[in-house]
Amino acid sequence: MIPGVLVGHHHRVEPGWATGTTVVLVPEGAVGAVDGRGGAPGTRETDLLDPANLVQQVHAICLSGGSAYGLAAADGVMRWLSERSIGFQVGSQPHHVVPIVPGAVIFDLPMSEWGNRPDASFGYEACSNASAEFALGCVGAGAGARVGSLKGGVGTAATKVGEHHVGALAVVNAAGEVVDRATGLPWLPSLGTTPVVLPEHKPQGLNTTIGVVAVDADLSKAECQRLAMAAQDGLARAVRPAHSMFDGDTVFALATGAVPLAEPRPFALDALCAAAAEMFADAVVSGAREATTLGEVKAFRDL
């Protein structure tokens, strides 16, 4: 995605299991923010990302399946970071730290046998697997994801705006469709231009698309929050309907601060926000395009 930002997955896709965890790791720390929309969120440590609150940097974002149970995966992320003395310093010794690990979950419980869901070990293993190069599709938190009547997954997209890198990662598990059921054509042409015949739509009741948009600019928490807000616009371009009562759409933003933001700042920030919306839309498309059929849940590529 972005220099200094690593991504790791851990999942189980086997009889009785289709779920997992994806961690976006920033060992050097990054300014963090969040924007949540929709009526069914499942989140952790999002209040501390308010620009008015004390902590300025986060050390990882934990994205997981398992609904509210999956929030436990972040405990493993904290353990992995604390073993390396990475976190918010609270004492005199180097290991006296509290890792800051906000997180969000998708509802994928119907894809596994009851009781099979991510725990702390998933978060720990995802951190151990973190790298600048990572897999897409039905991996990590996208293992059990669905988007409308199709299989969902993990997608990504990146671009450059001036001297800045902008990247996005999405776990696509929306109630809405990436394809217009009336025409068989995708909402975004980048998904494909050949009409497809969608399977029967079977609403799951609870869903959620979650993800991260990251830049290497030196943004404040408030500026970072604008980035997260803009990324939600990208979600609404790629999935319809979006932000429903049955989605808990949550997008985190990270700014590593490696490259100073050009002056005048509002114009430079606006350009990054525009790119964030485009990249998150493309990441959603990527998640649908890279997904593979799992059981009766067909993937776009197979239609």
- Mean pLDDT, all residues of the chain: 95
Distance CA 10, CA 122 (A): 6
Contact at 8 Å (CB) between 47 and 167?
no
Contact at 8 Å (CB) between 76 and 119?
yes
Give the Cα-Cα-Cα angle 176, 186, 157 (nearest 5 degrees).
Answer: 85
Of the two residues 195 and 277, the one the predictor is more confident about is 277
Distance CA 157, CA 132 (A): 13
The pLDDT, as a whole number, for residue 259 is 97
Q: How does DSSP classify residue 177?
A: B
pLDDT band at 38 (very low <50, low <70, confident <90, very high): confident
pLDDT tens digits, one per residue of 270-279 = 999 999 999 9
Pick the range with the lowest mean pLDDT from 20-29, 113-122, 183-192. Answer: 183-192
Is 282 a member of any domain?
yes
The single-letter code of the amino acid at 173 is N
Contact at 8 Å (CB) between 248 and 68?
no
- Can you give the residue range of the structural domain that contains 156? 6-302
pLDDT tens digits, one per residue of 221-260 = 999 999 999 999 999 999 999 999 989 999 999 999 999 9
Distance CA 80, CA 77 (A): 5
Mean pLDDT throughout 41-46? 96
Contact at 8 Å (CB) between 91 and 62?
no
Beta strands in the chain (DSSP E): 6-14, 17-36, 43-44, 57-64, 88-89, 97-98, 103-105, 146-147, 150-151, 154-161, 164-171, 210-217, 250-259
Is 221 a member of any domain?
yes
The pLDDT, as a whole number, for residue 205 is 62
Question: Measured on CA atoms in the order 262, 34, 243, 19, is the torsion positive or negative?
Answer: positive
Mean pLDDT throughout 100-113? 97
**Where do we find the tokens 């039905």?**
138
Is 1 a member of any domain?
no
pTM: 0.97
Is 258 a member of any domain?
yes
The pLDDT, as a whole number, for residue 87 is 98
CATH of residue 283's domain is 3.60.70.12
Kindly give, in sequence order, each residue whose CB lies less than 8 Å from that of residue 108, ignoring residues fewer than 6 positions away.
18, 19, 65, 66, 67, 143, 144, 145, 146, 173
Q: Structural domain tally of the chain?
A: 1
pLDDT band at 206 (very low <50, low <70, confident <90, very high): low
Does residue 203 register a pLDDT over 70? Answer: no
Is 178 a member of any domain?
yes
